Amino acid sequence: MRAVTAAQMKAVDAAAVARDGEVALMRAAGEAIARLIDRYARGDGAVVAIAGHGNNGGDAYAALAAYDGARPCVVYADASVEGSAARRDARARALAAGVEERAFPPDPALLRGAALVLDGVLGANARLPLDARSAQLAEAMNASGAPVLALDVPTGIDPTSGAAGAHAVRARATVALGRPKLGCFLDPARDLVGALWCAPIGMHDEDANGVDDPPAFVLTPAEFAALLPHRSDESDKRSAGAPLIVAGSTQFPGAGVLCAWGAARAGAGYVTVAVPEGAAAALRTHLVEQVVVTYDEREPERAVQTILDLTNRCNAIGIGPGLGLSEAYATIVNGVLAGTELPVVADASALYHLAKRLGEYRDKKLVLTPHAGEFARLSGKGTIAPGERLTRLRAFVDEHGITTLLKGRTTLIADRTATHLNPTGTSALATAGTGDVLTGAIATLLAQGLAPVDAARAGAYWHGRAGQIAQARRPRGVIARDVAEALGEASVVKRIDESLVRIF
């Protein structure tokens, strides 16, 4: 599903209006919003909508018209504003359904006692800074203490950049209409949107083509399920995916174990792990189903050949976790990358060693998986400010042409043609070794035939879901092996409702 800028949303909306009509679209939006009201409402108070002058306010009317729950409904609006035909239709239906209409400003006491407040002030048409009236309405919603369900984006957030004004609404949840807005995934907006839902209401990704390219996408549960490779009944252990894991060292043997577990739990049929001789005993203690092969890191040129010989029976490589920063490993990492035609995912130490040779790998089937600090070194442009992640990643990939996964609260994946935003994850993943599990999972997806960008975006989504499952099982103290063990369950998408999609 596309995540759109304000300009892209304008194009998508115009095309949908031409196809289906504005009245039908607003009615569909209202029905979707109404389905979420009782999910986020508290107590027995009223549902109070704050309706701005435009169609975002019309969506608020449409939601109250469609709501069939037991709670009383009140809308604050400027009744002198007629607005579009769709807004007039929504208002008429809301009033006919018994919704009470009041003039601005909202009564603070009513807002404090509200079961839920619908923020329909600006939506995707928001521009910063807010005008005085919109700022006052946003302040009133925040001061109420009532849960807020924002329509499209919370008031005070830029829908494209994710910038937030001083009065930005802090929502309990946001329902994107048509397509999710790009800014909702970016800092600081990500902290303000709450749970993000999307009601597609008949809009099409392709209607944004040619506007604000390259496009950005967010993986939905249905798309993730379709992307995961599935074994045929004729599969054997190698055709099911045979990744080669070059990870772990005498100092950090656990990285090799976790990387191998990630690969195996992601469904690889045959995992080979190449490690220095001094680490082999530690790995063999923990790896029963995986094949452990040794090399001598003190003779790095010979080690490269040993590893490349293993690629004859493998179909992808995961390299880097736990190797170390010595010159010997620089020779090994770059020697393996230069000498193979297999797809590769590189993480951790491998990123350190290939940073000065990126130009050599432009045409490789390669995925880089840095965190913010590693990315700063790779790019050579210094520390990333919170609001720069998307633009910095896009500039790096445009320059080097290498698929890159930038880890973070919203993990970003980019290749030459598009950017992808990962909606899954949890702070429980902020623990040693979880990145090693991700490397192994992506290596398996590459080994199973996914293109680098698809392996990266599916791997990030899957890994994030596994982290969420691990945290649900163990609210405190999640460790990397818990995440690896949750990958199997995380691969199952149990119920898919395409009419109202939970993004995060």
* 59 CB-side CA count, 13 A: 26
Looking at residues 365-392, what average pLDDT do you find? 94
Looking at residues 414-430, what average pLDDT do you find? 97
- CA dist 291 and 285 (Å) reads 12
CATH 3.40.50.10260 in the chain, residue ranges: 2-209
Alpha helices in 67-107 (DSSP H): 85-96
Residue 406 bridge partners (DSSP): 412
Provide the pLDDT for residue 125: 81
DSSP label at 388? Answer: G
Alpha helices in 41-162 (DSSP H): 55-66, 85-96, 108-112, 132-144
Which amino acid type is present at position 27? R
210's CB contacts (< 8 A; 6+ apart) are none
Which residue, 18, 216, 50, 42, is CA-closest to 116?
42
CATH of domain 2-209: 3.40.50.10260
Band the pLDDT of 80: cuts 50, 70, 90: confident
- CA dist 250 and 259 (Å) reads 15
Does residue 140 register a pLDDT over 90? yes
In this structure, CATH architecture of domain 225-489+496-502: 3-Layer(aba) Sandwich (3.40)
Whether pTM exceeds 0.85 = yes
- CA dist 132 and 136 (Å) reads 6
- CA dist 464 and 420 (Å) reads 14
DSSP label at 179? Answer: S
Give the pair of three-digit tokens for residue 367: 């995925």
Q: What share of the chain is helix, strand, coil (3-state, %, to 5)?
A: 45, 15, 40
- CA dist 124 and 109 (Å) reads 29
CATH 3.40.1190.20 in the chain, residue ranges: 225-489+496-502
Band the pLDDT of 234: cuts 50, 70, 90: confident
User: Are residues 184 and 196 in contact, defined by beta-carbon separation less than 8 angstroms?
Assistant: yes
DSSP label at 181? Answer: B
Does residue 130 register a pLDDT over 90? yes
List C-alpha distances in Å: 256 to 44, 340, 437: 55, 20, 9
Could you tell me whether strands 116-120 and 148-151 are parallel, antiparallel, or unpaired per DSSP bridges? parallel
What Rg, from alpha-carbon coordinates, does the chain have? 25
The single residue listed with the structure tokens 């996964």 is 405
User: Are residues 419 and 456 in contact, defined by beta-carbon separation less than 8 angstroms?
Assistant: no
Residue 157 dihedral angles phi and psi, to the nearest 5°: -115, 135
pLDDT, tens digit (0-9, with 9 covering 90-100), for 282-340 = 999 999 999 999 999 999 999 999 999 999 999 999 999 999 999 999 999 999 999 99
Provide the pLDDT for residue 467: 98
Which residue, 200, 57, 180, is CA-closest to 499?
200
**E strand or H helix at 424, and its extent?**
none
Supply the DSSP string of 204-244, one letter for each residue.
-GGGGTTSSSSPEEE--HHHHHHHS----TT--TTTT--EE
- CA dist 212 and 225 (Å) reads 28
User: Are residues 307 and 332 in contact, defined by beta-carbon separation less than 8 angstroms?
Assistant: yes
- CA dist 17 and 238 (Å) reads 50
Provide the pLDDT for residue 275: 98
pLDDT, tens digit (0-9, with 9 covering 90-100), for 20-55 = 999 999 999 999 999 999 999 999 999 999 999 999
Provide the pLDDT for residue 79: 78
Full 3-state SS string of 251-285: CCHHHHHHHHHHHHHCCCCCCEEEEEHHHHHHHHH
pLDDT, tens digit (0-9, with 9 covering 90-100), for 479-503 = 999 999 999 999 998 877 778 999 9
Give the pair of three-digit tokens for residue 210: 């040619």
Provide the pLDDT for residue 233: 86
Residue 321 dihedral angles phi and psi, to the nearest 5°: -60, 125
- What 382-387 contacts at long range (C-beta under 8 Å, 24+ apart), as own/partner pairs, is 386/187, 386/188, 387/161, 387/162, 387/163, 387/186, 387/187, 387/188
- CA dist 132 and 483 (Å) reads 48
